[in-house]
Structure 1
């Protein structure tokens, strides 16, 4: 078994290796942080489910960020079984596996310990090959019924299975260039506040981004599973989304990615109407709060904003697993489904209150390289970025050799 001492090597917010023991401990800590069940009531068993069996769920994008939180919270909070899909890279002679590979192995261990039958598939969620494999597994292993589908996919590219057309998403403002502050760290970890300019969307940038990050693939999953007769009575599905602060709106909610999120929400309304008629089910988008994720660190301004937000909120900043526990409670009927006027589940009220946003905006305005240490929680943010890759996790001995060739806990496609 290949063992070696791993040290963090990175280019900006991108790390070249991941630490298996750190990733394992991170998942275990997430499990411990997730409460057992809602105080008000236990989630109801889906109609027609075998007595004593948990609901059958499909988590698409299960290895990172909010998708990982949905998987862990689903196991502990809702007692799910079923299938988790992600797309991760295996270890090689030169590189460790991706962090999501190791997090998936750790999640599989937790599922087994909890007595939950959760199958982990590694492959392209956009492909019909993966959709067929999932459908076959649902039929053969889980009684041919699906109760929940959580969709949490953030990807740079997508190939349309019908046409073979390849699409690429971009992070650009619409109409004019956007100049914003952003936070970077040098090789020694010293923070710097810079101004960066992002040019506006051109040509078919908006259409390409919507094709990747909008609701097309989510709807295709529902169509595919419905066509195989796999949606249980009362089936519920949620796509995870984000709105964010006015400080980041030009590059995010009002930019190309915002158009994709709008398409995702429009898709939810269409699916909700159809599922209500066919299986008495429903579809929603879940608007989550800010978090440090591998996807969010790529967005200009988000690193600075998140560090400032943490300084304002401290421990009141709600971690993803707590938010997803609340979502599972609503989907499973343990607590009422609370929707805004657009039909979205809102789990971001703690972030977007006027009081919090006013405080963050004042710090944003004052933020420079000289002042940032006193305005943002830099130690927390820098640690969160490293923890995405399994480093800086409390309780892990980083001087000890660690096995890197951890096997995937199930089929690879």
Structure 2
């Protein structure tokens, strides 16, 4: 037993420990927030593979698929186990909680922990598909955000960076001091140089997504009508210089080109589809690392309030479109647009006005600060209603083993 009281300790938006009970409650709340399907899933659901399933939109994809569609299959992520000095990562605890809910609801879902970029993981997934699910995959959702990737063919390690392209970019950003007091600061980011763009595209573009499809197709494991979606983001003009027009934006553009290439291939091979899903803004462990995004999302929530659409609701919508519960609608770039509520002209105009007015002295008038601060803490299992943080909690939670 390794029970102890866990207090939140952080460096900026990065927390050193996670709270198992808080993470479990977050997952339970997400499951409960999935809109009820027209009829409860019965029998064997479609076989799905969710890559990047422990955080952000990938976690929402796994939970929404399980709760609304009744998917079975495999979820892949990369998380750290607990040690004597540290708790496990939040994604470890969220995965354990997701697995328990899947079990309780009769969903046959396997959870694998390892490097999704590596061919060893791809082969392990193929073997499990053959052994457990009849060797046919109906859906693949891809949601991987990572700082680096090792090319399986060459062994070269690529590193992604968050940089503008062409010139330095100066932006407002939101930070909190050790006591949680907000500050609106100015941050300048140097432009990409050398092979920064190529390296970022190699990590965050479509290369690994396509490699997964190639691996499964070569083994004849794509079912008729197989459909795949890579989860993406475009965002506001306020953050475009560092995001959509920056190195990450170049990777997202490559992801979209990959989607169109895969869409043509899959249509011919199995009558299938490939799309990117452009999701709306959310507080995630990845998004808080992007300069300016914290301020932007806080202001966006200040404008929209409860009309801000959470990831779990967006992914339920995506699953409805992928499974044919309602029409799959894409734009001219083969993108499913789940971000129209965010990018509405009236919303963006109000956020831009608040962005101009935001200073350390006035930020409380324009942004939903307490909401944003709590959302960051909830990423690690803190500030979750209904959890007793004064009580000791078991930190040595095992990785979910597959049921017979």
1:80 aligned to 71, 87, 100, which one? 71
Give the structure 2 partner of residue 408 of structure 1. 399
Q: Structure 1, unaligned stretches of length 5 or more?
A: 44-50
Give the structure 2 partner of residue 330 of structure 1: 321
| Partner in structure 1 of residue 124 of structure 2 | 133
| Counterpart selection for 1:205 from 196, 200, 211 | 196
Q: 1:16: which partner in 2?
A: 16
**1:344 and 2:335 matched:** yes
Q: Distance in 1 between matches of 2:394 and 2:370?
A: 28
**1:47 matched residue in structure 2:** none
Q: 2:274 aligns with which of 283, 302, 305?
A: 283
Q: Cα deviation per residue 1:1-48 (whole Å; 9 max; x = unaligned)?
A: 1000000000000000000000000000000000121x5x889xxxxx
State the match for 2:354 in structure 1. Answer: 363
The residue aligned with 1:242 is 233
Is 2:223 the partner of 1:232?
Answer: yes
1:7 paired to 2:15? no
Give the distance between the partners of 1:60 and 1:342, measured in 2 at CA: 23
Q: Does 1:192 align with 2:190?
A: no
Q: Does the residue aligned with 1:82 lie in a helix, a strand or coil?
A: strand
Match of residue 153, structure 2, among 145, 157, 162: 162
The answer as to whether partners of 1:42 and 1:334 remain within 8 angstroms in 2 is no
In the alignment, does 2:261 pair up with 1:270? yes
- TM-score normalised by structure 2 residue count: 0.98
Which stretches of structure 1, 4 residues or more, deviate above 2 A after TM superposition? none
CA distance in 2 between counterparts of 1:323 and 1:361 reads 24
Among residues 303, 319, 322, which one is paired with 1:312 in the alignment?
A: 303
Contact 1:241/1:287, CA 8 A, preserved across alignment = yes
The residue number in structure 2 matching 1:258 is 249
- Tell me if structure 2 keeps the 8 A contact 1:22–1:391: yes
Q: Does 1:220 align with 2:232?
A: no
Gaps of at least 5 residues in structure 2 are none
Conserved in 2, the CA contact under 8 Å of 1:121 and 1:410? no
Work out the CA distance in 1 between the residues paired with 2:237 and 2:283: 18
* 2: CA distance, partners of 1:344 / 1:124: 27
Give the distance between the partners of 2:164 and 2:377, measured in 1 at CA: 28
| Cross-structure match for 2:33 | 33
CA separation in 1, counterparts of 2:212 and 2:115? 13
Q: 1:53 aligns with which of 44, 50, 67?
A: 44
Distance in 2 (CA, whole Å) between partners of 1:42 and 1:245 is 37
The normalised TM-score by structure 1 is 0.96
Q: CA RMSD in A?
A: 1.0
**Aligned partners of 2:270 and 2:36: how far apart in 1?**
29
In structure 1, what is the Cα distance between the partners aligned to 2:145 and 2:209? 12
Cα distance in 1 for residues equivalent to 2:40 and 2:350: 38
The DSSP-based 3-state class of the residue aligned with 1:148 is strand
Q: CA deviation at 1:52?
A: 2.7
Query: Shift of the alpha carbon at 1:338?
Result: 1.1
Whole-angstrom CA distance in 2 between matches of 1:404 and 1:178: 42
**Does the 8 A contact of 1:126 with 1:158 survive in 2?**
yes
8 Å CA contact 1:169–1:208 kept in 2: the answer is yes
Distance in 1 (CA, whole Å) between partners of 2:296 and 2:98 is 30
Shift of 1:410: 2.8
Q: Indicate how the Cα distance of structure 1 residues 303 and 142 shifts in structure 2: closer, same or farther if over 3 A, else same.
A: same
